Chains A and B, each alone.
Chain A
Amino acid sequence: MSKINKLISSNCGVIRPDSVEDYVKAGGYEGLKKAFTMTPEEIISEVKKAKLLGRGGAAYPAGSKWEQLLAIPEFPKYIVINADEGEPGTFKDKLLLSQDPLRVIEGMTISGHVFSSHDGYIYIRGEYRAIQKVFQSAIDNAVKAGYLGTNIMGTDFEFNIHIMTGAGAYVCGENSALLNSIEGKAGRPRIKPPHLAEVGLFLMPTLVNNVESIANIPTIVLDGGDKYLSYGTKDSGGTKLICLSGNAVNRGVYEIPFGVSLRDAIYDPEMGGGVPNGKKLKFFHLGGQSGPIGAEAQLDTMYCYKALRNAGLSVGSGAIVVMDEDVCVIDYLKGVTEFFIHESCGKCTPCREGNKQIYAILCKLSEGEATKEDMAVLKRMIDTMTNTSFCGLGQSAAVALNTCWKLFKAEFEDHLHKKCPAQVCFTEQERGE
């Protein structure tokens, strides 16, 4: 039996992305139609029953987030969708944005109805400029067809969607940094509290959801929270878009029900299809650069929030980057750390300086110049950054290093003695070849 369950990606590659006609024929806008017969409380109750956990990476219960915003009396309230998707190894939102934008638009419109909002903003990363045009075309067509703008579906509800562009900054995936960026400022995170539900975009109450999260809303409203929950596990309902990349035979986006194993995701012929060229799997990186690294012994872990967390892993953004035996752990971590040096906003010292110090020691390791004292500094850096950085970026920047440290201690030791098992570091002469 197929382990893939196309619940929210069923239209992708099947309909014309910006065609309202195609979308409606495929069952689109039935969720919004039903939503208009429900009260905000009833809709939120279904989202809570569905146990939809935020798909951007933080896994915060969407129903609770919606409930908190509904209780705030101030208006206007804004709907903001985070389409910044800057996590290397993550390209699942791109699938929905480019191939089924109307599902995202319908989800936004339902949330607009719930919070009596008139304006929704979708912040699409600058690297997706081509997709922004497709999305704008879908918005324009939805307005023309009466599903957006004024008097939506014959009601007196008015809702408009505005596309805002990013310009290349990973930290803008952090919700408060994203709001600053929408306001035309540099995307540095804000101090919290106050929380964004109270003081968000233009200092007004704001809902910030991920693209995949909001794309689930029409299905939850239409089918009901209980049915949606049945697709997943008892703790997290529905399906998850996973993205396979790196040394995997079939790289791409797959929609899976929570509960299949990591081995299925990486090796099933319908999904990853294993490691190419007969190579062995060495490790895999889950949930993006800020996520943990796992090894072969963890392959039978169930892909769901709870089981992964218990195994020291996480779902994060849904990224699964596969690495074969030719990849050096130290060299890989250098790449991860270089990324964080580049993407740190520079606001807080632990993140701004810590990543640079970690990188310097990793370079020493790959050059055979590191000492045991350096290893102690590395350990201290991991603790300091994790506990004292200002935002999630800095707090999670050393997660990959920390998990590698535990899984591949011998490889760190080898590098102290000028040995690189993957034959990536040092010259042939230094390796004694």
Chain B
Amino acid sequence: MCSKVTKDQALEIIGKYEKVLAIINKYGKAKEQLLSILLDIQCASGENYVAEEWAEVVACQLDLPISKVHDVLTFYAMFNIKPHGKYVIEICKSTPCHVTKADAVVKMFEEVLGIKLGETTPDNLFTLMHTSCVGACDIGPVAKIGDEVYGNLTAAKVAEVVTSYRGVSSCQK
């Protein structure tokens, strides 16, 4: 029976496999580098998540049981095991931001993006989420996108931030 995978799809899978292997090799296949390896794979995925097949590759390359990789993936808040938007907008909900009106910021993003908290825009560009403290309480309320933190947010600033990410091509890492 013929495979349902086309040549282009096969090349894409090989490309991704090589990318994942390169990340693992960069860290010398060291078990203690598991978090860094998984964070890099997540960033390189383009969909901000670690797919099951890549978790298996990591387990195999690092000579770890897959359960250990799952344990780490589900323990730490920064890992996603389902696809997300290219840019994950995380709004800090910790109390210093809460008392400086973080709830209003969630509503501002919901309005600009046309989605609710926890959802992804139809073009898969943005996912809107809550996060714990990002250590920027002096400029609360704040939102984090990738490594960037945006503070003292107002409706105008929220609109400006979203616009700045539209049309940006690469992972900002």
Docked-complex contact A86 and B139, CB < 8 angstroms: no
Docked-complex contact B77 and A243, CB < 8 angstroms: no
- In this assembly, does B150 line the interface, its C-beta being within 8 Å of a C-beta of chain A? no
Q: List 7 A-B contacts (CB under 8 A).
A: A88-B94, A94-B135, A166-B76, A168-B77, A184-B31, A186-B76, A324-B99
- In this assembly, does B38 line the interface, its C-beta being within 8 Å of a C-beta of chain A? yes
- In this assembly, does B123 line the interface, its C-beta being within 8 Å of a C-beta of chain A? no
Query: Told that A88-B137, A332-B99, A339-B133 touch, could you supply 5 new A-B pairs with CB distance under 8 A?
Result: A129-B173, A168-B131, A323-B99, A332-B95, A345-B75
- In this assembly, does B78 line the interface, its C-beta being within 8 Å of a C-beta of chain A? yes
A: contact size bracket: 35 or more
Q: Please, how many angstroms separate the alpha-carbon atoms of A360 and B33 in the complex?
A: 39
- In this assembly, does A247 line the interface, its C-beta being within 8 Å of a C-beta of chain B? yes
Docked-complex contact A169 and B75, CB < 8 angstroms: yes
Contact of A321 among B71, B95, B131 (CB under 8 A): B95
Docked-complex contact A167 and B39, CB < 8 angstroms: yes
- In this assembly, does B140 line the interface, its C-beta being within 8 Å of a C-beta of chain A? yes
Contact of A187 among B30, B32, B75, B78 (CB under 8 A): B75
Interface 1/0 per residue, A113-147 and B, CB below 8 Å: 00000000000011111100000000000000000
Docked-complex contact B76 and A169, CB < 8 angstroms: yes
Docked-complex contact B96 and A89, CB < 8 angstroms: yes
A279 to chain B minimum Cβ distance, whole angstroms, is 11
- Chain A residues within 8 Å of B140, by CB: 245-246, 251
Docked-complex contact A327 and B138, CB < 8 angstroms: no
Docked-complex contact B76 and A126, CB < 8 angstroms: yes
B126 to chain A minimum Cβ distance, whole angstroms, is 19
Interface 1/0 per residue, B71-85 and A, CB below 8 Å: 110011111000000
A248 to chain B minimum Cβ distance, whole angstroms, is 9
Docked-complex contact A184 and B34, CB < 8 angstroms: yes
- How many residue pairs at the A-B interface have CB separations less than 8 Å? 137
- In this assembly, does A335 line the interface, its C-beta being within 8 Å of a C-beta of chain B? yes
Output the nearest chain A residue to B37 by Cβ-Cβ distance. A184
Docked-complex contact A126 and B96, CB < 8 angstroms: no
- In this assembly, does B134 line the interface, its C-beta being within 8 Å of a C-beta of chain A? yes
- In this assembly, does A338 line the interface, its C-beta being within 8 Å of a C-beta of chain B? yes
Tell me the residues in window 154-170 of chain A with beta carbons closer than 8 Å to chain B beta carbons. Answer: 164-170
- In this assembly, does B163 line the interface, its C-beta being within 8 Å of a C-beta of chain A? no
Tell me the residues in window 73-100 of chain A with beta carbons closer than 8 Å to chain B beta carbons. Answer: 85-91, 94
Q: Number of B interface residues, CB 8 Å?
A: 39
Docked-complex contact B137 and A321, CB < 8 angstroms: yes
- In this assembly, does A343 line the interface, its C-beta being within 8 Å of a C-beta of chain B? yes
Interface 1/0 per residue, A227-259 and B, CB below 8 Å: 000000000000000011111000111000000
- In this assembly, does B68 line the interface, its C-beta being within 8 Å of a C-beta of chain A? yes
A362 to chain B minimum Cβ distance, whole angstroms, is 13
Contact of A285 among B75, B95, B135, B147 (CB under 8 A): B95
- Chain A residues within 8 Å of B134, by CB: 127
Q: Please, how many angstroms separate the alpha-carbon atoms of A335 and B141 in the complex?
A: 14
Docked-complex contact B72 and A185, CB < 8 angstroms: yes
Interface 1/0 per residue, B124-137 and A, CB below 8 Å: 00000001111111
| A residues adjacent to B (C-beta < 8 A) | 85-91, 94, 125-130, 164-170, 181-188, 243-247, 251-253, 285, 289, 319, 321, 323-324, 327, 332, 335-336, 338-339, 342-343, 345
Known: A184-B32, A246-B99. A335 touches B93 (CB 8 A): yes
Known: A91-B138, A126-B39. A186 touches B99 (CB 8 A): no
Tell me the residues in window 71-123 of chain B with beta carbons closer than 8 Å to chain A beta carbons. Answer: 71-72, 75-79, 93-100
- Chain B residues within 8 Å of A186, by CB: 71-72, 75-76
Known: A245-B96, A339-B95. A185 touches B135 (CB 8 A): no
The 4 closest A-B pairs by CB, nearest first: A168-B77, A88-B94, A245-B137, A167-B76
Q: Please, how many angstroms separate the alpha-carbon atoms of A165 and B144 in the complex?
A: 17
Docked-complex contact A167 and B78, CB < 8 angstroms: yes
Q: Please, how many angstroms separate the alpha-carbon atoms of A321 and B96 in the complex?
A: 6
Docked-complex contact B36 and A91, CB < 8 angstroms: no
Known: A91-B137, A168-B78, A187-B75. A86 touches B35 (CB 8 A): no
Docked-complex contact B32 and A183, CB < 8 angstroms: yes
Q: Please, how many angstroms separate the alpha-carbon atoms of A111 and B78 in the complex?
A: 32
- Chain B residues within 8 Å of A188, by CB: 75
Q: Which among B33, B36, B133, B134 has the highest number of chain A CB atoms within 10 Å?
A: B133
Q: Please, how many angstroms separate the alpha-carbon atoms of A184 and B62 in the complex?
A: 11
Output the nearest chain A residue to B31 by Cβ-Cβ distance. A184
Q: Which among B34, B39, B97, B137 has the highest number of chain A CB atoms within 10 Å?
A: B137
Q: Please, how many angstroms separate the alpha-carbon atoms of A126 and B80 in the complex?
A: 14
Known: A166-B35, A252-B138, A321-B137. A342 touches B75 (CB 8 A): no
Docked-complex contact B35 and A253, CB < 8 angstroms: no
Q: Please, how many angstroms separate the alpha-carbon atoms of A339 and B36 in the complex?
A: 25
Interface 1/0 per residue, B16-43 and A, CB below 8 Å: 0000000000000011111110110000
Q: Please, how many angstroms separate the alpha-carbon atoms of A125 and B131 in the complex?
A: 14
Q: Which among B35, B76, B77, B144 has the highest number of chain A CB atoms within 10 Å?
A: B35
Output the nearest chain B residue to A346 by Cβ-Cβ distance. B75
- Chain B residues within 8 Å of A244, by CB: 138
Output the nearest chain B residue to A322 by Cβ-Cβ distance. B99
Docked-complex contact A126 and B32, CB < 8 angstroms: no
- Chain B residues within 8 Å of A319, by CB: 137
